[in-house]
């Protein structure tokens, strides 16, 4: 078996966080990809660079209904350009790597320790080392020396891609992310999960985590507000209007019979082993009721927003679309109503948590 990235995996980082600020307070979480979209082997390379990147974020080569062509372009390419956007974590990183294409990631060596915790960070750095004849012009990758091949040693390139795919399959699929959350919550044997999100707006972390939980539990994972775009029945002609044209996250789940009725009563009867808020800063309805009947460490609050959010941020200093979207709770309160899973997690947020009593708001 190929060894994945030897840097500390996300579970090791969680143990490190536990030792620093106490158990089950705040953990990293990352984007993920459905397992059937990860290439089973290193694909044949027929071109130097993928052409699916944006030019000035205005236009994309691949449009609605061209998801497979988009993936195949990466699969045929040695390198694909990706970079930090609103946050370090970006769906393009995974789409590049899951299709067996090495990421050309300027600044990848500077990713914060607790952000992108599930990614093969050392492989990202090694990929840049193999890209010695690669440069960037505008939003396109180019050969620095047209007379030299883009890859000096194909065998070394193939071995690195093999390691990368092994890591993605082990750590960064949707079901791997769901299992990771269950482990950190101390609920590896859970059978019934209530998944709460608005059902009105897509969100990569939320949607892909739900995909993994539904894969794991079937109808035992209840999306109280149905995430309609996640199902195969969602009209293909409407997927093009979704964020990112629905690529990678939309339309993969089979329609199965799910009991979404009488959620309030079922909460009061503790009919679920775990409650997950998939995008807690955007939607936290029913949280007061949930906290009447579930302990803090039985509630997962997932924050997939781009920026490194500070729990003590004031209205005057936070971004305009920040905590104001969260209802019923001031920001400092929301983070203490459950176990907090933060996508863009850095040392500053951990210091903020360490300075506060974890049970202060435990009902």
Provide DSSP, 118-166.
TS-HHHHHHHHHH-TTEEEETTEEEESSTTS-S-S-HHHHHHHHHHHHH
Whether the pLDDT of residue 8 is over 80: the answer is no
| Domain boundary, last residue among 171, 187, 209 | 171
* pLDDT score at 346: 85
Quick one: 140 and 183 in the same domain?
Answer: no
Quick one: 346 and 220 in the same domain?
Answer: yes
| Domain boundary, last residue among 136, 171, 206 | 171
Q: pLDDT band for position 76 (50/70/90)?
A: very high
In a domain, 360, yes or no: no
Find the mean pLDDT for residues 77-92: 94
Question: 344 with 88: CB under 8 angstroms?
Answer: yes
Provide the number of structural domains found in the chain: 2
Quick one: 144 and 185 in the same domain?
Answer: no
Question: 279 with 205: CB under 8 angstroms?
Answer: yes
Quick one: 188 and 202 in the same domain?
Answer: yes
CA angle 151, 156, 162 (to 5 degrees): 110
In a domain, 133, yes or no: yes
Distance CA 253, CA 233 (A): 9
In a domain, 119, yes or no: yes
In a domain, 166, yes or no: yes
Q: What is the pLDDT of residues 164-192, one digit of tens each?
A: 999 999 999 999 999 999 999 999 999 99
In a domain, 324, yes or no: yes
Burial of residue 189 (CB within 10 Å: 0-12, 13-18, 19+) is exposed
Of residues 213 and 6, more confidence is placed in: 213
Quick one: 215 and 314 in the same domain?
Answer: yes
Find the mean pLDDT for residues 259-269: 98
* pLDDT score at 360: 52
Token look-up 């799910």 returns 258
**CA-CA distances (angstroms) from residue 247 to 64, 118, 201, 254?**
9, 21, 15, 17
* pLDDT score at 91: 95
Quick one: 161 and 59 in the same domain?
Answer: yes
Quick one: 301 and 182 in the same domain?
Answer: yes
Report the first-to-last Cα separation within the chain, whole angstroms.
Answer: 47
Quick one: 92 and 145 in the same domain?
Answer: yes
* pLDDT score at 347: 85
Pick the most confident of 50-59, 209-218, 236-245, 347-356: 209-218
Distance CA 184, CA 338 (A): 12
Structural domain of 72: 37-171
Residues paired with residue 55 on neighbouring β-strands, in sequence order: 59
* pLDDT score at 53: 54
The alpha carbons of the chain give a radius of gyration, in whole angstroms, of 21
Quick one: 233 and 323 in the same domain?
Answer: yes
pTM: 0.90
Estimate the share of the chain in helix, then strand, then coil, as percent rounded to the nearest 5. Answer: 35, 15, 50
Quick one: 185 and 266 in the same domain?
Answer: yes
In a domain, 10, yes or no: no
Quick one: 166 and 252 in the same domain?
Answer: no
Positive or negative torsion for Cα 80, 83, 85, 87: positive
Q: 62 phi and psi, to 5 degrees? A: -110, 135
Question: 74 with 51: CB under 8 angstroms?
Answer: no
In a domain, 280, yes or no: yes
Question: 52 with 247: CB under 8 angstroms?
Answer: no
In a domain, 5, yes or no: no
Quick one: 62 and 124 in the same domain?
Answer: yes
| Domain boundary, last residue among 171, 187, 210 | 171
Q: What is the pLDDT of residues 289-321, one digit of tens each?
A: 999 999 999 999 999 988 654 444 444 444 443
Say what percent of the chain tops pLDDT 90: 76
């Amino acid at each position: 078996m190929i060894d994945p990235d030897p840097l500390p995996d996300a579970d090791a980082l969680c143990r490190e966080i536990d030792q620093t600020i106490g158990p089950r307070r705040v953990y990293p979480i990352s984007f993920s990809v459905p397992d059937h979209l990860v290439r089973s082997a290193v694909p044949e390379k027929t071109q130097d660079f993928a052409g699916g990147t944006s030019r000035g974020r205005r236009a994309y080569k691949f449009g609605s209904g061209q998801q497979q062509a988009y993936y195949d372009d990466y699969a045929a390419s040695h390198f694909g350009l990706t970079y930090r956007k609103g946050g370090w974590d970006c769906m393009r990183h995974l789409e590049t790597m899951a299709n067996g294409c090495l990421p050309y990631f300027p600044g990848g060596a500077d990713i914060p320790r607790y952000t992108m915790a599930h990614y093969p960070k050392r492989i990202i750095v090694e990929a840049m080392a193999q890209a010695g004849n690669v440069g960037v012009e505008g939003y396109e990758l180019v050969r620095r020396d047209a007379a030299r091949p883009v890859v000096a040693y194909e065998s070394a390139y193939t071995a690195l891609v093999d390691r990368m795919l092994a890591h993605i399959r082990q750590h960064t699929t949707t079901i791997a992310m769901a299992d990771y959350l269950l482990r950190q919550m101390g609920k590896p044997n859970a059978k019934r999960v209530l998944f709460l999100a608005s059902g009105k707006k897509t969100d990569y972390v939320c949607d892909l985590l739900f995909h993994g939980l539904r894969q794991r539990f079937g109808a035992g994972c209840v999306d109280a507000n149905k995430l309609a775009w996640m199902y195969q029945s969602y009209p293909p002609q409407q997927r093009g209007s979704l964020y990112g044209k629905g690529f990678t996250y939309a339309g993969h789940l089979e329609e199965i019979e799910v009991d979404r009725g009488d959620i309030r009563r079922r909460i009061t009867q503790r009919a679920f082993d775990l409650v997950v808020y998939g995008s807690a800063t955007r939607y936290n309805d029913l949280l007061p009721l949930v906290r009447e009947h579930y302990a803090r460490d039985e509630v997962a609050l997932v924050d997939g927003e781009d920026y490194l959010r500070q729990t003590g941020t004031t209205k005057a200093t936070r971004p305009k679309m920040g905590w104001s979207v969260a209802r019923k709770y001031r920001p400092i309160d929301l983070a203490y109503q459950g176990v907090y899973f933060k996508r863009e997690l850095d040392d500053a947020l951990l210091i903020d948590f360490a300075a506060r009593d974890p049970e202060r708001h435990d009902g």
